Structure 1
């Protein structure tokens, strides 16, 4: 038999016939936080030694207990009561803060319940960790699933690359000189001397061409890109040796001359720069590629982006659209397969991400490059003002408060943050602005503004940069930092990029982010009459200089034309440029 007498509200003492039982003390939380009452906490199952039927129960009211309560029971009771009193007093000292804490806890619990499960992390490739880890740093809605057709084609192409490279990777010079191709065709990527953005865009164009024509892509190991990127194909190398006869490649016949020679050549150098001769432009005619099949070696000499134009060539359109769910996100898919930072760069990217960008509610990427003026790295106050106007008018950043009392108002509003931050219910910063620019003063000016002025949302805003070299020199170190910045920008929730900037195109394309396009191109941004920025129409890069060759036959079918009407449009930041995307078809085009 168990006898329990309630001597203090919420405390029960019990004894039973089975001998002494384990003492337990339990606190339960009531909905009336923070106004706690002592009787809202319960101590249960405090046993006393077993008694016989004739013995009196401990603490019988009005009776004297012959055998007093053991000391250990008294100590436990005092400990429980003391703990309840201390906890209640702590809550009552700051009822408002405790209420917010309790509400924050409920909100956090609800948020955790609604969160998607952690993604399954594939086994890391030790030779290229970024290949398997990159999606861990993107929002779930931007973790694109590779189309089945693209995945199968990529595996088949990797096997082609391996079989055509087997036993040759250390002897490419002999293979080239002796024309010992073994039935394989090759595409040599000749890296140009422009900025990193142009080089990467050209490389992705070359890869897509190689993928569509079954040519084994090989790159110049003396240049910068191979020192930054992983090998893209398993069990195969794309690197040419240092002693490869590059001079023969540079002196090879151009496309127009090869046509005059009735394609009776073993190597054609494709000059695909922004300025091209009429013969070079024949590359964008469908019938040209029928003849190029007979040429075992092609050299891709370019610093331009031509993925958009490849989709306008009928035979390539038929081959490529099934791989990319009709095509509008082609660069995003290809770049995530190809533009993979090597392990050293990836470690740099991850450290910056966790050290400076992860602890915020919103990540805002800001890429600043002043095209159309002599100094790409200049600081212009008008540019800073235009950037802020763009970001505040589109609610990417809050507007600043004016008036003497704004700081006091914000201090009062920020007071509860210490409790939420300490308990990890709120990030230390509401927004982190990550800036990629050659000029540090943009960071300094934004930091000064956010640190010294209150804003209408009472937000805490942090500003960070990786590098600020002050000028563009295309060195290995600057290219290293540039690729780090491109990837970090691609992890943004919101991104604003500079008009005409290939650097910005890489970041937005990698992330699948539709940008705000900053109108900061040209010497005078105050008198150009333009809006501070445009809402981008697509995440894909702009083909700045699409060629319009005089082809013998266009062979454009109605279905191909209808596809182009819905997926290719003039760029917003470059008149005459072309951009892939998904666009509404004009009524006259239906």
Structure 2
């Protein structure tokens, strides 16, 4: 019996040992599986991180970015959409610059207001509802052909026509668009052959191009003497400024002549009473070559809207230009190829925009000396050592790429030779490049305008800018970039002035020919002296610009 019990006890022990061993094996297998799972997970996660790193490196290599931070991927869509300024409802490949351009420059410190963002989204819906080929557009065309206005319709329009150079055109498109926003009008552009394939469509699911069958022909022929100008309608008493005037007594359209040569009656556009009359005209045609945005701030009826849209007044063109102007893929290719080849690898990028005017002559030598005097005085460029034996690299081999835009190649050649033949006082390595030199302006040529647009954007990717006074080309670049440039002042007696340049107080363009008539006081005034948010321009004494 004892033997039998001992055997049974041994069997139980064996069974217990077997069960323990089996349990241990199960636990071991479970732990092993967990370890393997963790190892696989970590490896996969590491691979994802590695692949993300490769992706970022490829992205940086393709765009030539330097020091770009991708620490928070959630921030990338926000940056790509410029803080909500841009609509996400576009096919990225159809216009690569729309969402890629912001990656070539530092994020803007100026965020669009939530009110501006909402107004833009609302406008996009309006443009989609009233744009060309829509039933409401056809209804408005029928009204236009009827020979008189019908009061406020569901869709009212502002038709822009081009005049002068590309810089002027971009500033006036931005001005016209803001006016359209303020008056709930749909902006349509009369695109001539020299403007084809420059800009992508800015509004989703619609076009801003005026159809070719628009019933009013020869829009570019409208000028100061045209009978359809607002000033001539007032002069000939075909329009009365009585705000009680019936819409049916108004013409089917009015031409707003806001070019630099406009006269007193046309300048009444900037008066509240006149705006109330114009609000009853269904179609407004506009042509201008000046940045007339500051004049919109004179109008009390727009005061609150402008304040809510632009808490920072000097950001108007910055936000409008980045919303509206996206180079087409063909122009974007020109921009990226040049940037990667000549600018991407530099520690710092400096842009020098050179433009001279026949009414302010100065020799190439004197203007080159003015540019260098400004650059040295403001520590934008290092001075050179006349001692050829001086060693380079005392500043750690720091590189600076200088982009020069000019119709003439002699400026860049002179400065390039100077910095090639001598070392710099700081040891910095300075390189110069110039994308094109057309010799003379050819606004009537599409290829000329494509190069001009590419160079404006290349300037906007620089860290600092030196621009020529009076030049709208420079105004556009500084506004897109949100930079306050050093402005080269106008020559005196064909010689460089002293000081050679001044730092801009605001990144806004200058309104060269502002009105001087105070509608409420019924007298001429100096708006640059009496308004808190408007100052006289650094380069154009009688001009004004928005200022915070």
2:350 alignment partner, SS class: strand
CA contact (8 A) 1:252 1:267 kept: no
Partner of 1:542: 510
CA contact (8 A) 1:147 1:325 kept: yes
CA contact (8 A) 2:349 2:401 kept: yes
Partner of 2:129: 163
Indicate whether 1:310 and 2:296 are aligned: yes
- Paired with 2:115 and 2:533, the residues of 1 have a C-alpha distance of 20
- Paired with 1:462 and 1:505, the residues of 2 have a C-alpha distance of 24
Scaled by the length of structure 2, the TM-score of the pair is 0.75
Partner of 1:446: 415
1:435 alignment partner, SS class: strand
Whichever structure has more helix as a proportion of its residues is: 2
Scaled by the length of structure 1, the TM-score of the pair is 0.70
Q: How does 1:71-470 map to 2 (within 5 A)?
A: 117=72, 120-121=76-77, 122=80, 125-140=92-107, 142=108, 144-165=110-131, 167-168=133-134, 176-178=144-146, 183-192=154-163, 194-247=164-217, 250=222, 253-259=228-234, 260-261=237-238, 262=240, 264-373=250-359, 380-406=364-390, 409-410=391-392, 413=394, 430-470=399-439
Contiguous gaps of at least 5 residues in structure 2: 1-65, 81-87, 241-248
- Paired with 1:386 and 1:134, the residues of 2 have a C-alpha distance of 32
- Paired with 1:374 and 1:112, the residues of 2 have a C-alpha distance of 42
Question: How far does the alpha carbon of each residue in 1:330-359 deviate from its partner, in whole angstroms, 9 at most, with x for none?
Answer: 110001011221121112111111111110
Question: How far does the alpha carbon of each residue in 1:502-530 deviate from its partner, in whole angstroms, 9 at most, with x for none?
Answer: 1100011110100001125466124xx42
Task: From the superposition, tell whether residues 238 and 231 of structure 1 become closer, same or farther in structure 2 (CA, over 3 Å).
Answer: same
Task: From the superposition, tell whether residues 154 and 286 of structure 1 become closer, same or farther in structure 2 (CA, over 3 Å).
Answer: same
1:434 alignment partner, SS class: strand
- Paired with 1:356 and 1:562, the residues of 2 have a C-alpha distance of 41
Task: From the superposition, tell whether residues 273 and 189 of structure 1 become closer, same or farther in structure 2 (CA, over 3 Å).
Answer: same
After TM superposition, give the deviation of residue 549 of structure 1 in Å. Answer: 2.9
Question: How far does the alpha carbon of each residue in 1:507-564 deviate from its partner, in whole angstroms, 9 at most, with x for none?
Answer: 11110100001125466124xx421111111111000110123525689xxxxx9997
Indicate whether 1:490 and 2:494 are aligned: no
Larger-gyration structure (1/2):
1
2:256 alignment partner, SS class: strand
CA contact (8 A) 1:332 1:540 kept: yes
- Paired with 2:360 and 2:153, the residues of 1 have a C-alpha distance of 50
Supply the RMSD in Å over aligned alpha carbons.
3.0
After TM superposition, give the deviation of residue 244 of structure 1 in Å. Answer: 2.3
After TM superposition, give the deviation of residue 146 of structure 1 in Å. Answer: 2.2
After TM superposition, give the deviation of residue 168 of structure 1 in Å. Answer: 3.6
Partner of 1:588: none
- Paired with 1:476 and 1:497, the residues of 2 have a C-alpha distance of 24
Partner of 2:11: none
Which structure has more RCO (C-alpha within 8 Å, separation ≥ 6)? 2
Partner of 2:40: none
Q: How does 1:462-541 map to 2 (within 5 A)?
A: 462-474=431-443, 475-521=445-491, 524-526=494-496, 529-541=497-509
- Paired with 2:401 and 2:471, the residues of 1 have a C-alpha distance of 22
Number of residue pairs aligned between Structure 1 and Structure 2: 446
- Paired with 1:435 and 1:385, the residues of 2 have a C-alpha distance of 15
Task: From the superposition, tell whether residues 493 and 554 of structure 1 become closer, same or farther in structure 2 (CA, over 3 Å).
Answer: farther
Task: From the superposition, tell whether residues 189 and 114 of structure 1 become closer, same or farther in structure 2 (CA, over 3 Å).
Answer: closer
2:94 alignment partner, SS class: coil
- Paired with 2:262 and 2:301, the residues of 1 have a C-alpha distance of 22
Task: From the superposition, tell whether residues 225 and 318 of structure 1 become closer, same or farther in structure 2 (CA, over 3 Å).
Answer: farther
After TM superposition, give the deviation of residue 279 of structure 1 in Å. Answer: 1.6
Task: From the superposition, tell whether residues 134 and 540 of structure 1 become closer, same or farther in structure 2 (CA, over 3 Å).
Answer: same
